[in-house]
Structure 1
């Protein structure tokens, strides 16, 4: 193989005349020079397979600049230049397999930009500041397997710019500004095996966020702002083996939802570090029968219900570190279970309550020291009730909880699993009796002039330093006045018919 290295010089122009004699040249390295443009016909007909032009000053690519290399070129690297745009159909290179355009100044990629690259397998366009990918931006890349778009300024994922990527296996979109995944976004890339959306601005995972990714094996969505995961958000990901959700805000999903990961039948690894999780319940990991590795580190976990991990028969690694445990009688099971499964080297856990055990490793607490003579974490005592209402009337939901702690209490109401930020809420507290150390807290949600849009399931969340308690979900149904009138008339008719027949 003939290799020409002309890098690290001060070359400012590509001379076809000087290159024409290199008839056996397969690799040409022009990196680290002062080349500012690549003109049409810059390269003579050569059997070049690899062309490297990284770290130059290239700002212009003329049509026809690579035409004489169309029969042989396999690798083209134009990283760290000054390209601000990529002219459509500038690459008539049907055999090219790898194209790199990272660290340029491209802000927008038009449709058909890469048309003609029928053999391309990987494309790298990181660190360009790209804000827009137009519909059909990658159309024609019929053999594309890897697309790397990290460190840009993309704000959404849509099927328009993914059109044509039928063979794509890896899509890297980390370190962008993506806040939205449009419905049916993945319609044209259903062979995707790895998707990286970490370090973006996603706040919600909707029911259709990943529809169509039936062969996906790895999903990275850590370091976002996710606080809401809809029921069924992971439905259809039957082949997913690794899910990275670290450093989001999904504590309520883990603490309250009924099996949020239940659709992930083949999941092997789940990463949930740094999600402000305070409680792990029996239903948190329902359905994860095949899980082998679970990372719950960097969460201030206060309680872990018995049997929270019992269905995970293949669990080989459990990472957990917390100094916030409520070491009462409900935690008796934890130390023996950790020891039995040989997780001791991976678990660092100490007590925060009661005061006598504060700071003590949970594995050094004797079984008789786990007592339940108080309950600092709120316990729901009055559940909100399901109701029906006439459109335009007022509705009140009431919820109460008791706690033996004087820790400040916070109250929130949710509708269909989402926080009601602007709701009319009234809170009060009172001692159960003069001699009691238990305080009962009541929160009232007032809905005025309800509409049909007010229908849904309402739930209260009462929290203090020791954790959160979630009420049952009360359903509100709103009827029109005509409905009530018709229902009343039907009842009267039924009564009349009954007495007439009797």
Structure 2
């Protein structure tokens, strides 16, 4: 005798499963008022029969069921919830759930399904929740879910999906949430997803796709939350990959992004929550997130952040929370924010922070800012090492959180008067705490970069290679840190040289020696001569051509002669009569005719 539990109005009663005298499976005998039937973990090998027709919930989980036959539950028209999870089901027949016209929830989690035949879910027009997770499903075929017009949530995580047909989701007009996880998809099923016009939440986890192409989520205008996580090879988002979406929440975590995908994000003007955690991102650059006008939270924990540039959050008037914990940041300057007064939550823990004047603004707000239970800790200098921000008193802040302004060490005048083609170096060394940044300004008031003919070397030295007359002028070195700036001007005067002197010329990112150019020009001139052959060559060529022509003609005549001889008796003469025209044109009646004979060869 097997005992199952019957529940009715939260009161539990026991019901007995009897066996007929012939040893076959008997029927369940339930009272007419039965509502819930709990037969979980009863080692059932098949679905029993005889359930009361007014049952609202049936739990057959944790058994040994292997198949679900056609119209298996047709006698339960009032059933609203069916749980077949954690069995050994490998096959479901077409119309397996036909007759369950009131079913709202169907769980088939953790079974052995590999394929779902089209028509299995026919008749489930009222179903709202379907869980197919933790099976071995390989493919979703066209029209697999076509009769499920009321479905709202589809769980398809942890399957072996290799393909989702373009029309697999046809008919799912009301699905608002789709979860895919641990599949073998090699591309985003764009066409299939576009059949879900009401989709609001999409989670795609643990794929091996390296890039998200343009228009990957087209026609998903109602999508509000997108989660892309644990794609270890994902390193690229095309600039229009998220175009057309009106997301309010975006998570791209545990991937391989080396930088924030600014071009892809700029379209998301409704975005409020952005999580890029656990990516090898090294910097948050300045003035590139301004299009995200409604952004309130940014999470970039567990990355490789080395710096957050000034103006990184410029224009973000609604910005409330920043989580950059467990990175490699040494500081976070106040100038990164549009307004630090709006900031409510800041996570800086897990960074090698240098506690100097750049972090003074954070420490002074340590009582108002919410550190989410994880206090920032100083790593440098040694005097405050391992001290948490909350441990500092207000009196010691001016003494400990200090900086030394940038100062250029050698301020002796530097002027160079050189001839064209000379390489010139201008030194600019500075010290300070923190270490100052060196910037050079050209005579045309432009910032000089680290590449090109005129460039700034890693040690801060200005290099002018192969100086030209137009390079003349004054150049300014700027050394600056959080505590202050210093500057130094140098002068360069370049004298022109005679044109016959060899001076390299910079063309197309390469230097070309004038001697080489001259040689090239001479070669071109020689190749442009109007008569490339002498008279002797011309005579020989003409003679050979004439002899070749005569040989060809002779061969033709010989061939024609032998051909005519092979035709037998041939007439060798031809007589031709003619009538001459008058001098006035056209022959008259009085004109006399003539005749001549032609000999044929």
Equivalences for 1:385-396 in 2 at 5 Å?
A: none
Q: CA deviation at 1:96?
A: 1.0
- Tell me the TM-score normalised to structure 1 length: 0.70
Name the SS of the counterpart of 2:229 in structure 1: coil
Q: CA deviation at 1:126?
A: 1.3
Q: 2:40 aligns with which of 7, 10, 33?
A: 7
In the alignment, the residues of structure 1 paired with residue 325 and residue 156 of structure 2 have an alpha-carbon distance, to the nearest angstrom, of 34
Aligned to 1:283: 311
Specify whether residues 360 and 121 from structure 1 end up closer, same or farther in structure 2 by C-alpha distance, changes over 3 A only. closer
Name the SS of the counterpart of 1:229 in structure 2: coil
Aligned to 1:43: 73
Q: 1:204 aligns with which of 204, 222, 236?
A: 236
Do residues 117 (structure 1) and 148 (structure 2) align?
yes
In the alignment, the residues of structure 1 paired with residue 384 and residue 52 of structure 2 have an alpha-carbon distance, to the nearest angstrom, of 80
Matched-pair contact (CA < 8 Å) for 1:232–1:263: no
Do residues 130 (structure 1) and 161 (structure 2) align?
yes
Aligned to 2:115: 85
Name the SS of the counterpart of 2:458 in structure 1: strand
Deviations 1:248-297 (A, max 9, x none): 12223x0xx33332222111211111221122221211222101111111
In the alignment, the residues of structure 2 paired with residue 378 and residue 177 of structure 1 have an alpha-carbon distance, to the nearest angstrom, of 43
Name the SS of the counterpart of 2:99 in structure 1: helix
Matched-pair contact (CA < 8 Å) for 1:239–1:265: yes
Q: Which runs of 5+ in 1 are unaligned?
A: 388-394, 404-439, 445-475, 479-502
In the alignment, the residues of structure 1 paired with residue 205 and residue 187 of structure 2 have an alpha-carbon distance, to the nearest angstrom, of 12
Aligned to 1:273: 301
User: Which structure would you say has the larger RCO, counting Cα contacts within 8 Å and 6 or more residues apart?
Assistant: 1
Deviations 1:15-66 (A, max 9, x none): 5xx33x6222222222222211112232334212222111111111111222
Aligned to 1:23: 53
In the alignment, the residues of structure 1 paired with residue 387 and residue 96 of structure 2 have an alpha-carbon distance, to the nearest angstrom, of 71
- Superposed CA RMSD in Å reads 3.2
Aligned to 2:25: none
In the alignment, the residues of structure 2 paired with residue 149 and residue 351 of structure 1 have an alpha-carbon distance, to the nearest angstrom, of 42
Aligned to 1:338: 365
Aligned to 1:302: 330
Specify whether residues 63 and 376 from structure 1 end up closer, same or farther in structure 2 by C-alpha distance, changes over 3 A only. same
* Larger mean Cα displacement after TM superposition, 164-173 or 221-230: 221-230
Do residues 316 (structure 1) and 355 (structure 2) align?
no
In the alignment, the residues of structure 2 paired with residue 75 and residue 131 of structure 1 have an alpha-carbon distance, to the nearest angstrom, of 26
Instruction: Give the number of equivalent residue pairs.
Output: 394
Q: CA deviation at 1:140?
A: 1.2
In the alignment, the residues of structure 2 paired with residue 108 and residue 308 of structure 1 have an alpha-carbon distance, to the nearest angstrom, of 48
Q: CA deviation at 1:323?
A: 5.6
Matched-pair contact (CA < 8 Å) for 1:136–1:163: no
Aligned to 1:374: 432
Aligned to 2:251: 220
In the alignment, the residues of structure 2 paired with residue 53 and residue 370 of structure 1 have an alpha-carbon distance, to the nearest angstrom, of 67
Aligned to 2:8: none
- Tell me the TM-score normalised to structure 2 length: 0.59
Matched-pair contact (CA < 8 Å) for 2:213–2:237: no
Matched-pair contact (CA < 8 Å) for 1:145–1:168: yes
In the alignment, the residues of structure 1 paired with residue 450 and residue 347 of structure 2 have an alpha-carbon distance, to the nearest angstrom, of 40
Q: Could you say which structure has the larger radius of gyration?
A: 2
In the alignment, the residues of structure 2 paired with residue 209 and residue 148 of structure 1 have an alpha-carbon distance, to the nearest angstrom, of 20
Specify whether residues 337 and 286 from structure 1 end up closer, same or farther in structure 2 by C-alpha distance, changes over 3 A only. farther
Q: CA deviation at 1:178?
A: 3.8
In the alignment, the residues of structure 2 paired with residue 156 and residue 379 of structure 1 have an alpha-carbon distance, to the nearest angstrom, of 44
Q: Which runs of 5+ in 2 are unaligned?
A: 1-33, 406-430, 441-446, 466-506, 510-601
In the alignment, the residues of structure 1 paired with residue 47 and residue 324 of structure 2 have an alpha-carbon distance, to the nearest angstrom, of 56
Aligned to 1:400: 457
Aligned to 1:99: 130
Aligned to 2:560: none
Name the SS of the counterpart of 2:109 in structure 1: coil
In the alignment, the residues of structure 2 paired with residue 67 and residue 336 of structure 1 have an alpha-carbon distance, to the nearest angstrom, of 66
Name the SS of the counterpart of 1:123 in structure 2: strand
